[in-house]
């Protein structure tokens, strides 16, 4: 989601970030969170990039926010109008809290385990979706799709993993926990994740039909809700999408 106050022209090439408008230290900070060019900054969004720097413990002042906007425009921060600055500050105030993503290695390891669980679902004739809940580096809940076998419309992979994690902790509130799932959560699962106070959701494949983390709706970005879970996606997306496609292809072949 773009968060800058100005509509930018399309870049023809990757323009590196420079000082000015950015302080040299800020260029290094941005590189640490995967932003190396003007195009990267525009794609991430100025306000989101600012909040991610802040979440990483960097000294993120309003002046840096203005400098980021200027860098995205290819201008100097003192060229921003007062209206520009006020619009940025309104976007900042309205933005949900931001957390940093788990490491790439963690994301891959836990999503591979979720894929293994998804295979169990496929073996039982269920749509292959798997999920794990992680706290302090340990898996405390596992689940895979079982609505058919359990005769339970709520028995999605995420719901199963949340229930198992709650039993492990002895508390329905899963503060400090992360949920990894092979497919973008639906509205039901998104609501349960928010109710459980899960800190971060990491999903692989997007769901264009019922995805509630940005594909169809985004409950996680709803500012009127009293808890905000950070959401990250994309890791192993192709592999998880292929896992789903293979399942439905086999079902079609059996019915032909």
Catalytic residue positions? 158
The structure tokens listed for 219 are 């409950």
Tokens 């949900």 correspond to: 96
CB 130 within 8 Å of CB 117: yes
Please state, in angstroms and as integers, the Cα–Cα distance from residue 154 to each residue in 124, 135, 188, 244, following that order: 17, 23, 8, 19
* Other Cβ atoms within 10 Å of 161 Cβ, number: 30
Pick from 79, 78, 90, 137: which is nearest to 113 by CA? Answer: 137
What strands lie across the sheet with 138-144, from one edge to the other?
138-144, 130-135, 177-183, 200-205, 230-233
DSSP secondary structure letters along 27-94: HHHHHHTT--BHHHHHHH-HHHHHHHHHHTT----HHHHHHHHHHHHTS-GGG--HHHHHHHHHHHHH
Task: In whole angstroms, give the CA distance from residue 28 to residue 141.
Answer: 37
Q: Residue 43 class from Cβ within 10 Å (0-12 exposed, 13-18 middle, 19+ buried)?
A: middle
Phi, psi of 128 (to 5 degrees): -75, 90
């Amino acid at each position: 989601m773009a968060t800058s106050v100005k509509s930018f022209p399309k870049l023809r090439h990757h323009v590196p970030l420079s000082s000015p408008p950015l302080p040299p230290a800020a260029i290094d900070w941005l590189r640490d969170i995967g932003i190396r060019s003007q195009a990267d900054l525009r794609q991430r969004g100025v306000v989101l990039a600012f909040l991610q720097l802040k979440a990483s413990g960097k000294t993120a002042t309003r002046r840096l926010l203005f400098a980021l906007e200027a860098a995205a425009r290819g201008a100097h921060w003192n060229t921003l109008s007062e209206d520009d600055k006020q619009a940025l500050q309104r976007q900042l105030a309205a933005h949900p809290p931001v957390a940093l993503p788990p490491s790439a290695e963690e994301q891959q390891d836990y999503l591979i385990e979720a894929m293994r669980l998804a295979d169990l679902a496929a073996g039982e004739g269920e749509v292959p979706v798997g999920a794990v809940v992680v706290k302090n580096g340990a898996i405390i809940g596992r689940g895979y799709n079982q609505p058919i076998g359990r005769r339970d419309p709520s028995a999605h992979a995420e719901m199963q993993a949340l229930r198992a994690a709650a039993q492990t902790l002895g508390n329905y509130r899963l503060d400090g926990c992360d949920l990894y799932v092979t497919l973008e959560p639906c509205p039901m699962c998104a609501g349960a994740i928010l109710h459980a106070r899960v800190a971060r959701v990491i999903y692989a494949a997007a769901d264009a039909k019922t995805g509630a983390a940005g594909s169809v709706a985004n409950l996680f970005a709803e500012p009127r809700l009293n808890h905000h879970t950070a959401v990250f996606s994309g890791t192993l997306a192709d592999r998880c999408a292929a896992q789903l496609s293979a399942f439905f292809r086999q079902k079609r072949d059996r019915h032909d």
